Amino acid sequence: MNQSLKRHEAVGHWLASVGLNLLLPMLPLFVEYAITNTISSSNLVLAASMYSVTTGVVSKNRLVFVTSMLICVFYAAMFGHLLSLDPGKEAPSFYASIVLVVLFATNVAVKFWYHVIELRKYTDFSLGDD
C-alpha cells in the first residue's frame, strides 16, 4: 500500500481538517446570524468557551494549553453571569467574537503543523492504524 503523501494532498488534509474541525462547530453561530442578522452575546461567549478548550487539548504547547483553559473558564463564568442578567438589558460579549477569530487562527496553525509538516492524514486515526 502506497503511504506517501504529496504536498498538495497534505494541504488537502489540512483544509479538510479546518473545514470539518474548525468551521463546522461554528455552524450554529452562522445559522443564527443568517436567520436573525445578529449573534447573541450568550451564544458568542459559550462558543468562545468551547472553542478555547478544543484549542488547548489539540495543541502540543503547554502555554497554549494553560491559556486556553483560562479562557474557557473565563467565558464559562461569563456565560453564567449573562444568564443572570435582566433579559431586557444589553449583554456584553467580552470581545468573544475577536477571541474566536484569534483562536481560529491558532487552530489553523496547529492543523498546519499536524497535516502539512508532520504529514498526518486527516483520516489517519491512531486506533485504526497501529
Partner 1 sequence: MEDLIGIIPLLLATVSLVATLFSLKDRVKAEKSLVEALQVELQKEIVRKSESGSIVDLTAEGERIGDHDPVLVRAIYRDALKSVGSTAEAQSVLYKALNDLAEKDRNSIKGTLKTNTMAGRTRYIARLFRKALDSYAKP
55 counts as binding partner 1 under rule CB under 8 A: yes
119 counts as binding partner 1 under rule CB under 8 A: yes
- Judged by CB under 8 A, the residue of 8, 63, 84, 88 near partner 1 is 63
Choose the binding region for partner 1 from 17-25, 26-34, 120-128 (rule: CB under 8 A): 120-128
59 counts as binding partner 1 under rule CB under 8 A: yes
Burial class of residue 19, CB neighbours in 10 A (0-12, 13-18, 19+): exposed
The residue written with cell numbers 452575546 in the block is: 41
95 counts as binding partner 1 under rule CB under 8 A: yes
3-class DSSP state for residue 40?
coil
111 counts as binding partner 1 under rule CB under 8 A: no
Angle, helices 41-58/62-84, rounded to nearest 10 degrees: 160
